[in-house]
């Protein structure tokens, strides 16, 4: 529903939601938009949509939950979400989870995205920063195909300093001192 705040630039084409109460809310707010009830039976077509927004159950990743990570039966649905990402090949994927995922599954999620050929960036936001009346922190992973990665070359500090000194030498008069013995 947050995408709706962006106006008509994002069109919601379908949902995957197993919870009947959540389905009722979605039907009310998005009449006519199909709802697939079980991600395990959902198979998107390649290129079917540009953006995949994923929030799998946080029962195992939340600080308030069982704290068993992605091995929890509900949180393990992450793997089904990854499968859908691989099948659909969207231009972007947004994944939302509570801050507990940092200690209980983040490495596996980022590794899965990387193996699927997706680069990623992480945002860490308090719900209060977005206008909510509570402080719960959320982790957002923005992911996109590797070929869309912004290309830049990382260099270490010593290489940068060496290059700067060499440029300075080329543009300056240097005193040369030789040891004559």
Q: Summarize pLDDT for 137-181 with one digit per residue, the tens.
A: 999 999 999 988 765 455 555 565 566 556 655 655 544 445 565
| 22-79 residue pLDDT tens | 999 999 999 999 999 999 999 999 999 999 999 999 999 999 989 999 999 999 999 9
CA–CA distance, 165 with 13 (Å, rounded to integer): 56
Q: What separation in angstroms does the CA of 124 have from each of 2, 64, 91, 104?
A: 17, 18, 22, 16
Domains contained in the chain, number: 1
Backbone angles phi, psi at 127, to 5 degrees: -60, -30
Q: Which of 10-14, 46-50, 100-104, 133-137 has the lowest mean pLDDT?
A: 133-137
What domain range is 57 assigned to? 38-171
Domain at 85, CATH number:
3.40.50.150
Mean pLDDT to the nearest integer, 103-117: 97
Is 67 part of any domain? yes
Supply the pTM of this predicted model. 0.77
Query: Residue 8's pLDDT band (boundaries 50, 70, 90)?
Result: low
Q: What is the pLDDT of residue 63?
A: 92
Is 2 part of any domain? no
Q: What is the pLDDT of residue 1?
A: 53
Q: What is the pLDDT of residue 94?
A: 96
Mean pLDDT to the nearest integer, 8-18: 89
Is 72 part of any domain? yes
Q: What is the pLDDT of residue 175?
A: 47
CA–CA distance, 152 with 23 (Å, rounded to integer): 43
Give the distance, in angstroms, between the CA of residue 120 and the centroid of all CA atoms in the same chain: 5
Residue 94: in which H helix or E strand, if any?
strand 92-98
Is 22 part of any domain? no
Q: What is the pLDDT of residue 159?
A: 62
């Amino acid at each position: 529903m947050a995408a709706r705040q962006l106006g008509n630039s994002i069109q919601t084409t379908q949902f995957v939601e197993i919870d009947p109460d959540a389905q009722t809310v979605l039907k009310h707010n998005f009449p006519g938009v199909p709802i697939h009830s079980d991600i395990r039976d959902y198979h998107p077509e390649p290129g079917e949509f540009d953006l995949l927004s994923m929030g799998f159950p946080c029962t195992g990743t939340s600080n308030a939950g069982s704290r068993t990570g992605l091995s929890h039966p509900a949180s393990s649905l992450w793997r089904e979400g990854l499968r859908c990402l691989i099948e659909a090949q969207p231009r972007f994927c947004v994944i939302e989870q509570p801050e507990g995922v940092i200690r209980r599954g983040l490495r596996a999620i980022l590794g899965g995205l990387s193996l699927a050929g997706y680069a990623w960036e992480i945002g860490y936001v308090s719900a209060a920063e977005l206008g909510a009346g509570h402080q719960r922190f959320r982790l957002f992973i923005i992911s996109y195909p590797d070929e869309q990665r912004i290309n830049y070359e990382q260099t270490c500090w010593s290489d940068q300093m060496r290059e700067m000194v060499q440029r300075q030498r080329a543009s300056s008069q240097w005193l040369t001192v030789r040891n004559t013995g």
